[in-house]
Amino acid sequence: MASLILYCALFGGFVLISVAGQHKISYRDPLIFYEGRWDESPGTWWAGSGLKLHVANLQTLSINLGEATSAPVAPLGVSVGSGPFFTYNATAGENLIDLGDIQKTTSTIVRINVQGHSNNHIVLESITLNLGATLLPYKPQSKITFQFIGDSFSSGYLLPMGINQGWTFLVGENYKAEYRVTAQPGAALTDIYSYGNVNGMTKQFFLTEDTGFYYTTFHNYTTPWKFERDQPSPTHVVIHLGANDAAQGVTDDEFVQVYLEFLVKVRKLYPTQPIFMLTPWGWPNEDGSVYYYYPGLYQKIFSERRAIGDLNIYIVDATGWVTYPDVFADNKHPNANGQIKIANNFISFLQGWGLKMPV
């Protein structure tokens, strides 16, 4: 009987093991395109973090995950070729991805991400491909890379497919861009406790881990995020924050000061990139009224940045973008239709600003 293991070779620090009918690729393989924030295990943090694979002669694909993967399941978003994302509930161990009626093309792009703000930790050990399949370098389709920074409004909160139905996702997809979403439901910008978050985004944005670290036993600590790992580097930075500061009673003066200090740190990271500050689209009510938190303060923050010479910062007036039919009635967060409206409004702004859609 033929041996199951045909060969084992060591190439530049990663191991490739071929088995009858398949071969296994280590997480160390440099042709795996990691996206978002991964720790050294490597494990994902933040909704939307994941990987992209460019595979020649793809027929079967499994991802093999470590024991620290979220239980009972870690919902993944998966896109094969140019197909839409679908949900796959992954578990520790081997996960055979349904590739559907995959077309026999020269090569296929597979995108996989964690779609939720919780149960979003997968630990990648290896990837198994059919024999004859080969990993190829992944090359972005566009020169545009978005960095979104936000809270529940930007994270796909409460949507069936999480981040993969959110306005941030829709904007990135429409531009065929690379995009990273660093958004935590319930988090304030100010570094205070808020709705289960032990840090505000003024601190958490600069960490590898989302607030889930606080509630785990296997990784209950934080590490500084190495922004040089964000490749390609962001070309456009988008910020939508403040709802939870208002909910926690952060005063007007405190909010302005914290936001200005945050922009100093963000500008240091991204010295030449345009920064877009979204004003609130607010909390719509059934009677047609909308509550807008911190009225006038975003304009004040914008004006102060412009006054010190930051001419590459822009304010996006989101007033009126969302009405009561566009939100979940019980919590007033944007529903799927609301997310589409927000995305379309922001795309319209970007096109007017000069960022043209790909042909």
**Average pLDDT taken over every residue of the chain:** 94
At residue 11 the predicted structure's pLDDT band, cuts being 50, 70 and 90, is very low
pLDDT tens track for 19-67: 446 889 999 999 999 999 999 999 999 999 999 999 999 999 999 999 9
Give the CATH number of domain 5-136.
2.60.120.260
Model pLDDT, residue 105: 73
Burial class (CB in 10 A: 0-12, 13-18, 19+), 315: middle
The β-bridge partners of 238 are 148, 276
| Cβ neighbours of 41 (radius 10 Å) | 16
**How far is it between the farthest Cα atoms of the chain?**
77
Residue 7 has pLDDT above 80, yes or no: no
Its pTM stands at 0.93
Q: How far apart are the C-alpha atoms of 136 and 127, rounded to whole Å?
A: 14
Burial class (CB in 10 A: 0-12, 13-18, 19+), 13: exposed
Residue 72 has pLDDT above 90, yes or no: yes
Model pLDDT, residue 82: 87
At residue 18 the predicted structure's pLDDT band, cuts being 50, 70 and 90, is very low
Architecture of the domain defined by 145-353: 3-Layer(aba) Sandwich (3.40)
Query: In CATH terms, are 5-136 and 145-353 the same topology?
Result: no
Q: Residues with Cβ < 8 Å from 110, sequence gap 6 or more? A: 52, 53, 55, 58, 61, 78, 79, 80, 81, 97, 99
Q: Domain segments of the chain: what residues?
A: 5-136, 145-353
pLDDT tens track for 75-118: 999 999 989 999 999 999 999 999 988 877 789 999 999 999 99
